[in-house]
Chain A
Amino acid sequence: MTIVPIIKRDYITKLAEQGKRIDGRSFDQYRNIEIETKVVNKAEGSARVKIGHTQVLVGIKIDLGEPFADSPNMGVLSTTAELIPMASPDFESGPPREDAIELARVVDRGVRESQVVDVEKLVITPGEKVWIVFIDIHILDYDGNLFDAASLGALAALSTATIPAKRFSEQLPEDYPKEDFPLPMSEPPISCTAVKINDFVFFDPCFDEEIIADVRLTVATDNNGDIRAMQKGLSGSFTKEEIQKVIKGALDNGQEIRKQLNQSTGK
């Protein structure tokens, strides 16, 4: 760790002892979230999500293609994330590195395992022709907590996506609908991330908190209050009590975020 983060760490932990955070939030409070959908005309679905200063843009493109040999009755989902040099002085151009791949895979798992997209309804001719859904995540401004911003962006973009059946009408079988229709979706789980610095647990870490964090935990919860996915990151450790605290915070914040997501996608 270089000298600046060490100084910041002192400052952040001293504040935390007085029950405060650097931007004045309480420990389990999220920054202001903004969700804007249908921001890119050329994309089949898109969303721009801001959590505080963090800003991501997610675009959905949908193409015709072949299913994987081991799942002939399912459409294909593909997620990529780009940490473009625009978003932070530390991001470089070139092929995606470890961080971008982890981010894309965590978002991908959230979408895939929770079955928010009904992949069986993406089949046109089993074993031959299916819809391929590309989720492309563009990080525009990096001020911490990319996991939550990227998953929320992906969900918002998917919720407003349409299958471009009209554009591909000539390549579709005769009895298949030729008009665009919404991507088949079900109620999505919402992920919430917290980090631990010394013995303090902060939800929705901003950049300064994230770079000095010992350990990170992301918890995705659904509408019924059940847990749908978890991912621990970084080299520190949690106690069981701390994990329970994070789960509770994820449930409370998740409810609020879900309301906002549904509102912005008109559902």
Chain B
Amino acid sequence: MKSDIELISSEGKRLDGRGPHDLRKIKIEAGVLHRADGSCSLEWGGNKVIAAVYGPREAVPRHTQNPLRAIVQARYNMAAFSVEDRKRPGPDRRSVEISKVISEALEKVVLTEQFPRASIDVSIEVLDAEAGTRCAGLTAAGVALVDAGIPMRDIPVACAAGKIGGQVVLDLGKEEDNFGDADLPVAISPRTGEVLLLQMDGHLTVDEFNQAFDLAVKGCHTVSEIQKKAIMQKYQSAAAEVQE
């Protein structure tokens, strides 16, 4: 879709006032739910996401069990009221695909071989949506997995880059996603740099792809620090409570 609005000014200022390499505001809190084994609430610009983790527990139905390792089942779900025009509740093709790519990304970092026949269930609820919900969801899921004490090689993290008005920028907003030229969500394992999730739609030259990819990875590292802070915060406040 093309539009006449200028997504980025000649001085490199974007619609919401950010520069090309700026992230939206991110707020992460770990351990927000009582019943879940681990949970995380995350705000990323206008996105509000909650992730919850249950498990490892017996995988049902039984035919989904793997005798050698655990399976990771993420379920990405958008609330009916999270978008401008009400979304019909329940899974659609888009959310089924996102659930699949997120499950696969998480499975790579979880030490699944420790829990044969088990399932680690990750529930991701998008309560308020404004472009980049899959990155927000995966990032929240990473923190929730840590909060649940699931053994992992690393804390997975995601961030998108893209192209608007001919320029490569970090973390697309709503209008930029709708009217921009390309969107490139990337998830990595920040310790090793392994790519866990990679999708792209739009049009990029090879050069632009390289730029956008590097930018997204840089964004991931920034978000990763915020994740770690949120986890530290939870245990620090728990420790303070114990001392009282």
A contact set with B: CB distance below 8 Å: 39-44, 46, 53, 55, 57, 59-61, 63, 80, 82, 84-89, 93, 95, 134, 136, 138, 140-143, 167, 207
Residues of B within 8 A of A (CB): 33-36, 39, 46, 48, 50, 52, 54, 57, 75, 77, 79-86, 89-91, 121, 123, 125, 127-130
Q: Is the CB of B90 within 8 A of A95?
A: yes
Q: Does the CB pair A41–B46 fall under 8 Å?
A: yes
Given contacts A63-B86, A80-B89, A86-B36, contact A42 B80 (CB under 8 A): no
Say yes or no: A61 contacts B54, CB within 8 Å: no
State how many angstroms separate the Cβ of B74 from the closest Cβ of chain A.
11
Shortest C-beta distance, A102 to chain B (Å), equals 17
**Residue pair A85, B54 in contact (C-beta under 8 Å):** yes
Q: Tell whether, in the assembled complex, residue B91 and residue A93 are in contact, meaning their CB atoms are under 8 Å apart.
A: yes
- For B129, the closest partner residue in chain A by CB is A42
CB <8 Å contact, B33 and A55: yes
Residues of A within 8 A of B82 (CB): 40, 42-43, 59
- Can you list 10 residue pairs at the A/B interface with Cβ under 8 Å? A42-B83, A42-B128, A60-B81, A61-B81, A63-B86, A85-B54, A85-B123, A86-B36, A86-B52, A143-B34
> B86 near A86 (CB under 8 angstroms)?
no
Are A53 and B81 in contact, CB atoms less than 8 angstroms apart?
no
- A-B interface pairs (CB < 8 A), number: 94
A-B residue pairs, 3 tightest by C-beta: A59-B81, A53-B34, A61-B86
Given contacts A40-B82, A63-B86, contact A141 B77 (CB under 8 A): no
Q: How far is the CA of A93 from the CA of B80 in the complex (A)?
A: 15
A113 to B123, alpha carbons, bound, how many Å? 35
Indicate if the CB atoms of B35 and A89 lie closer than 8 Å. Answer: yes
Known interface pairs A63-B86, A85-B52, A88-B35; 17 further A-B residue pairs with C-beta atoms within 8 A, sorted by A's residue number: A40-B48, A40-B81, A40-B127, A42-B81, A44-B81, A55-B34, A61-B85, A85-B121, A86-B39, A89-B35, A93-B75, A134-B81, A136-B81, A136-B86, A141-B34, A141-B36, A143-B35
**A84 adjacent to B125 (CB under 8 Å):** yes
Q: Is the CB of A86 within 8 A of B125?
A: yes
Q: Which residue of B lies closest to A90 (CB)?
A: B35
| Inter-chain contact A84/B81, CB cutoff 8 Å | no
Contact between chains at B79 and A59 (CB < 8 Å): yes
Nearest CB of chain B from residue A86's CB, rounded to whole Å: 4
- A207 CA to B35 CA in the complex, in Å? 10
User: Are B83 and A84 interface neighbours, CB within 8 A?
Assistant: no
Partner of A142, one of B35, B39, B46: B35
Closest chain A residue to B86, Cβ basis = A61
B106 CB to closest chain A CB, in angstroms?
A: 16
- The one of B50, B57, B84 that contacts A86, using a Cβ cutoff of 8 Å: B50
Across the interface, do A138 and B125 meet the contact criterion of CB distance under 8 Å?
yes
| A258 → chain B closest CB, angstroms | 25
- A42 and B84 contact, CB distance less than 8 A: yes
A-side contacts of B89, CB under 8 Å = 80, 82, 136
Residue from B75, B86, B125 in contact with A140 in the complex, judged by beta carbons closer than 8 Å: B125
Find the B residue at minimum CB distance from A96.
B89
Q: Which of B33, B75, B77, B80 contacts A59 (CB 8 A)?
A: B80
Chain B residues near A89 (CB, 8 Å)?
35, 54, 57
Closest chain B CB from A166 CB (angstroms): 12
Q: Which residues of B contact A59 (CB under 8 A)?
A: 79-82, 127
Q: Which of these, A53, A61, A63, contacts B35 with CB under 8 Å? A: A53
**Set of chain A residues within 8 Å of B90, measured between Cβ atoms:** 95
Does A136 lie within 8 Å of B80, measured CB to CB? yes
- A102 to B128 CA separation, bound complex (whole angstroms): 26
Residues in A with CB closer than 8 Å to B129 are 42
A87 neighbours in B (Cβ, 8 Å) = 33, 35, 52
The answer for the CA separation of A93 and B96 in the assembled complex, in Å, is: 12
A42 to B128 alpha-carbon distance, docked (Å): 6
Could you tell me the distance in whole angstroms from the C-beta of B129 to the nearest C-beta in chain A?
7
Tell me the complex Cα distance, A46–B82, Å. Answer: 10
* Cβ-neighbour of B80 out of A41, A61, A142 (below 8 A): A61
Contact check, B79 vs A136: say whether CB atoms are below 8 A apart: yes
CA distance A68 to B54 in the complex (A): 42
**Chain A residues with CB under 8 A of B35:** 53, 87-89, 141-143, 207
> Please, which residues of chain B bring their CB within 8 A of the CB of A138?
79, 125, 127
Q: How far is the CA of A141 from the CA of B50 in the complex (A)?
A: 11
